[in-house]
């Protein structure tokens, strides 16, 4: 008689499997007679089960639906609290999210857990609970009986609330897929409607006033470069002199800085690009050379998109906070929050209506389109995959140039060809 494969044994005349699950040896009876053919099939089944356990895809209740252990496992899952489920999900997401994105997810989850009763089992979470969560995030009030009580100083914007809810609904969907809930609570929860926000660029007069409000040349240079190139603020923070070609006057964008001391590639693959510099950007970099060009080079670790992969760059950062700081700074480069703070200070000092610092990027796009630049070229300069984003976001500025387009066509379609004579030339039909 053939030997038993590893993990296959006889139990009362039928075959039984044993394997390690969640750190302990478990046994499950297959209920089939002990024959050489069945032993081979049982061995193959055990191998597939072990592989599924190693890869995290093993579902005990699906493989052994009549097993008491499967029922026990299901009962345990249904008792897992919302808080336990949330932190388990966040831990698993670390391998697929950028560090700053994971930190944002964690912040959103913590806030939602404070509003929900995070100690109760996630299996008891209802559709009403999620609707109440969204209402409280949006308004700052929670419903108690028939009255509303303020739970926060103020509500959040629709865009922010949709971001919170998207994270929580993704976590709950994970719980549903893996048997931690007995039914769906998110089937018809849709994002709140929000108005499309239009770009709000600076006018040229406002930009001049903003630059005049800068008390140091470095701050002035930062915002000239930002508005002249459309670079993201994290890309400006991570910009090094090693990325600047001072012969052809181009800038290679290959790094981004979203949070302090954590360098990554740009936001998207198309964000890795070479920017052709305009005269204002060139002059800003020439001005900045006196402050940082001869500073010491630093080795920085760039965390690549593939989990666990890194590269080391040698950088002499173009903008350094110690140049303008009253106290000597240990930071080797700015962080986006510091740049945004300087923007807010300049707007207030210049008496300009407040806008978000990201409007520097919108200002570049709107000014470039108003000047008649090719949308595809603008998209490549800004790091978009194609011109579709430019058309959808900045279409208004393109429409304003329709009159100029006719002038351009008239100039380029002036062939200066002689008119056809009225009489036919001899021999020509």
Element (H, E) at 157: none
**Catalytic member of 77, 233, 361, 362:** 361
**154 given a catalytic annotation:** no
**Catalytic member of 77, 232, 255, 355:** 232
**Catalytic member of 16, 39, 220, 384:** 384
The C-alpha atoms of residue 158 and residue 141 are separated, in whole angstroms, by 15
SS3 content of the chain, % helix, strand, coil (to 5): 50, 15, 35
Q: What is the DSSP letter of 121?
A: B
Residues in contact with 137: Cβ distance below 8 Å, sequence separation at least 6, in sequence order: 111, 112, 115, 155, 156, 160, 161, 164, 165
**295 given a catalytic annotation:** no
Give the residue carrying structure tokens 């100039």.
411
**114 given a catalytic annotation:** no
Give the residue carrying structure tokens 């849709």.
190
**Catalytic member of 267, 293, 295, 349:** 267
Q: What is the dihedral of CA 323, 327, 332, 338, to 10 degrees?
A: -80
Q: H helices of 326-383, where?
A: 336-350, 359-370, 375-382
The C-alpha atoms of residue 232 and residue 228 are separated, in whole angstroms, by 12
Q: What is the DSSP letter of 355?
A: -
Q: What's the Rg (C-alpha) of the chain?
A: 31
**51 given a catalytic annotation:** no
**354 given a catalytic annotation:** no
Catalytic positions are 232, 267, 361, 384, 394
């Amino acid at each position: 008689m053939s030997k038993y494969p590893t993990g296959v044994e006889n139990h009362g005349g039928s075959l039984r499997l044993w394997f390690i699950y969640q750190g302990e040896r478990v046994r499950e009876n297959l209920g089939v007679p002990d024959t050489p053919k069945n032993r081979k099939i049982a061995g193959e089944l055990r191998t597939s089960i072990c592989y599924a356990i190693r890869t995290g895809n093993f579902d005990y209740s699906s493989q052994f639906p009549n097993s008491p252990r499967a029922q026990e496992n299901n009962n345990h899952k249904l008792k897992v609290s919302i808080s336990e489920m949330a932190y388990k999900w966040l831990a698993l997401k670390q391998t697929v999210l950028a560090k700053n994105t994971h930190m944002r997810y964690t912040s959103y989850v913590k806030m939602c857990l404070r509003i929900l009763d995070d100690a109760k089992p996630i299996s008891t979470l209802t559709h009403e609970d999620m609707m109440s969560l969204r209402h409280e995030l949006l308004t700052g009030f929670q419903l108690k009986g028939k009255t509303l009580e303020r739970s926060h100083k103020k509500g959040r914007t629709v865009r922010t609330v949709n971001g919170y809810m998207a994270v929580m609904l993704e976590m709950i969907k994970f719980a549903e897929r893996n048997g931690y809930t007995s039914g769906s609570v998110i089937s018809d929860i849709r994002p709140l409607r929000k108005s499309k926000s239009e770009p709000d660029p600076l006018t040229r007069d406002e930009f001049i006033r903003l630059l005049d409000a800068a008390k140091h040349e470095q701050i002035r240079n930062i915002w000239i470069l930002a508005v002249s190139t459309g670079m993201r603020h994290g890309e400006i923070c991570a910009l090094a002199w090693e990325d600047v070609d001072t012969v052809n006057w181009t800038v290679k964008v290959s790094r981004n800085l979203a949070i302090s001391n954590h360098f990554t590639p740009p936001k998207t693959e198309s964000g890795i690009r070479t920017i052709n510099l305009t005269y204002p950007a060139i002059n800003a970099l020439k001005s900045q050379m006196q402050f940082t060009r001869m500073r010491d080079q630093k080795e920085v670790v760039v965390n690549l998109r593939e989990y666990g992969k890194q590269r080391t760059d040698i950088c002499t950062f173009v903008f350094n906070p110690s140049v303008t700081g009253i106290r000597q700074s240990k930071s080797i480069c700015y962080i986006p929050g510091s740049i945004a703070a300087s923007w807010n200070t300049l707007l207030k000092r210049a008496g300009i209506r407040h806008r978000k610092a990201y409007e520097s990027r919108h200002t570049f796009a709107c000014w470039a389109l108003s000047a008649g630049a090719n949308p595809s070229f603008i998209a490549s300069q800004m790091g978009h995959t194609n011109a579709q984003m430019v058309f959808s976001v900045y279409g208004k500025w393109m429409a304003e140039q329709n009159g100029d387009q006719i002038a351009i066509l008239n100039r380029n379609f002036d062939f200066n060809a002689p008119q056809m004579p009225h009489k036919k030339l001899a021999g020509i039909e």
